[in-house]
Structure 1
Amino acid sequence: MTKIGIIGSEGRMGHALKAATQEAGCDFAGGIDKGDDPAALAKASDVLVDFSAPAALAANLAVARDAGIPILVGTTGLDDSHHAALDDAAKHIAVLQTGNTSLGVTLLAHLVREAAGKLGDDWDIEIVEMHHRMKVDAPSGTALLLGEAAAEGRGIDLPANTESGRDGHTGARGKGTIGFAALRGGTVAGDHSVILAGEQERITLSHLAEDRSIFARGAIRGAQWLIGKGAGRYSMNDVLDL
């Protein structure tokens, strides 16, 4: 039975992950939160699932590497330094990092990549996301994941071709850019739409999350998939073989 250790176990996602672990027939090896020792958890686990905070990522990667076990990172709000740390850890262990562990969102990103690649840059791309009032980062990790998928489809760099936070007299929309809009309110688990707007026609690709349990189930499936994988950096695309 796969022993899964959860970092960030007392948060909303942590509770959902514990339930999903049992649902999948895995063994809950234990959980830790801010101030706890991740090394002890790593020794008791076959794989770690991290939904904590960006500030804790480096330490969590280090204990996974020292224990020689894989780690799935679902923490959002990561910057370039965090991704450099993920790349470094992936030289030694299997690391799966994603802005969204939903299997549906993984497939959506694949469709966005395909659509962006097939359509020219005269089709404008806008990504609209809505989350609960307590979410602290924007755009969401999922919105950025979808933006990266669109940018990959077009063969462009996302940061250099992003428009967000429009306010006031902004001027005309830049051709070929990818726009982001973030909405916050209520208890929305996560709604994402990618709009491809051409001349006299639009395509909208959407995913609506009704409960965060979908992210937990996807994360546990990804964690199980990581067992036995060689050192390297993986994504949910690998889990679905896309």
Structure 2
Amino acid sequence: MADIRVAVAGASGRMGRMLIEAALGAEGIVLGAAFDRPGAPFIGRDAGEMAGAATGIAITDDAHAAIAAADCVIDFTRPEGTLQHLALARELGKAMVIGTTGFDADGKAAIAEAARSIPVVFAPNMAVGVNAVFKVLEVAARILSEGYDVEVIEAHHRFKVDAPSGTALRMGEVVARELGRDLDACAIYGREGHTGERKPETIGFSTIRGGDVVGDHTVLFAGIGERIEITHKSGSRMPYALGSLRAARFLQGRDSGLFDMQDVLGLR
């Protein structure tokens, strides 16, 4: 199959730079464009500068032109920006990989609607290892369905703007589904003061923000006399970038549809 030309959104940011580095070394992937919001610090500079490679592609603030120059847009920016880029991708008939988190119900509905016209991979975490953990959690939740309290603990860097993380929420959703619970009804996002005894049907979330933590996630099944912890720790953003490129390859040749990394990895 022909090489896939990708356009990287948020190219000046930490994840954008990692995506560019990964794309430059990936088989079957070509960096078609890199773009960012007007006023971003690297507008006009070579997209490969931070990776120590000259690409001949300047980071632009013209999102329309950047998306038009590619087959697939990869976006890890913020919900409001991602939805603007999604509208352009839909207008131009381009595939899109969305790693942005923090969407509200309307944002998620907009993504689902766009996927009726273009192919979209939308996942809270693109790392292959994290998606393997999602599958492990399905099995663990079925086995530990009685007598175990469930808590989800996550840690990220000080710059992350949403909490709990999309990955933590997906972990909670996976466990809740296997236990026959509605996460919206049973989730506890904070405890303070006199809370009373823990209700066994709840799923708790704890959030840590600080320093440069890339992303740590643990699901704790706490029983009487034992604890089972299923943990994933990210040492860099490269796993997210590599998973995103895998998602872009998955979308090649598809006309429309909404997919996630479980589809990309054949874990359904």
Normalising by the smaller structure, the TM-score range is over 0.9
After TM superposition, list the pairs within 5 Å mapping 1:38-57 onto structure 2.
38-57=63-82
Residue 199 of structure 1: how far off its partner (Å): 2.2
Q: Give the alignment of 1:187-198 within 5 angstroms.
A: 187-198=212-223
Structure 1: 5+ residue stretches without partners:
none
Q: Quick one: distance in 2 between partners of 1:192 and 1:12?
A: 20
DSSP-derived class of the 2:94 partner: coil
Bigger RCO of structures 1 and 2 (CA < 8 A, at least 6 apart): 1
Percent identical residues = 41
Secondary structure, counterpart of 2:222 in structure 1: strand
Asked if the contact 1:132–1:186 (Cα under 8 Å) also holds between the matched residues in 2, the reply is yes
User: For residue 92 of structure 1, what is the aligned residue in structure 2?
Assistant: 117
Question: Which amino acid letter does the alignment assign opposite residue 74 of structure 1?
Answer: G
CA distance in 2, matches of 1:201, 1:55: 44
3-state DSSP of counterpart to 1:195:
strand
Per-residue CA distance 1:57-109 (angstroms, 9 max, x = gap): 32211111112121010011111111100110111111111111110001101
Q: What are the within-5 Å matches in structure 2 for residues 66-85 of structure 1?
A: 66-85=91-110
Residue of structure 2 equivalent to 1:203: 228
Superposition deviation, residue 211 in structure 1 = 0.8
| Partner residue of 2:172 out of 138, 141, 147 | 147
Of the three residues 132, 148, 153, the one matched with 1:107 is 132
What pairs with 1:1-242 in structure 2 (closer than 5 Å)?
A: 1-25=3-27, 26-35=29-38, 36-242=61-267
CA distance in 1, matches of 2:151, 2:255: 37
Query: Whole-Å Cα distance in 2 between the matches of residues 152 and 93 of structure 1?
Result: 28
- Secondary structure at the aligned position of 1:182 is classed as strand
Q: Is the 8 A contact 1:121 1:175 kept in 2?
A: no
**The 10-residue stretch of structure 1 (146-155 or 100-109) with the greater mean CA deviation from structure 2:** 146-155
2:156 and 2:212 in contact (8 A); partners too: yes
Amino acid at match of 2:20: K
Matched pairs, number: 242
Distance 2:172 2:255 in 1: 28
- Give TM-score scaled by structure 1 length: 0.95
Instruction: Compute the TM-score of the two structures, normalised by the length of structure 2.
Output: 0.86
Q: 1:171-228 CA distances to partner (integer Å, 9 max, x unpaired)?
A: 1112221110011222111111111112222211000101111111111111121111
The 3 A distance-change label for structure 1 pair 37 and 155 is farther
Deviations 1:96-147 (A, max 9, x none): 1111111000110111122113322532110111111222211111111211
> Please, which runs of 5 or more residues in structure 2 have no aligned partner?
39-60
Root-mean-square deviation over aligned CA pairs: 1.3
Write the distance in 2 (CA, Å) between the matches of 1:21 and 1:71.
15
Q: Specify the SS of the correspondent of 2:67.
A: helix
- Preserved contact between residue 33 and residue 67 of structure 2 (Cα < 8 Å): no
Distance 1:204 1:147 in 2: 14
Deviation at 1:34? 1.6
Give distance in 1, aligned partners of 2:133 and 2:181.
19
Between the aligned partners of 1:166 and 1:121, the Cα distance in structure 2 is 23
In the aligned structure 2, how far is the partner of 1:152 from the partner of 1:90?
A: 24
Structure 1 CA distance for aligned equivalents of residues 142 and 9 of structure 2 = 37
Most deviating of 44-53 and 133-142: 133-142
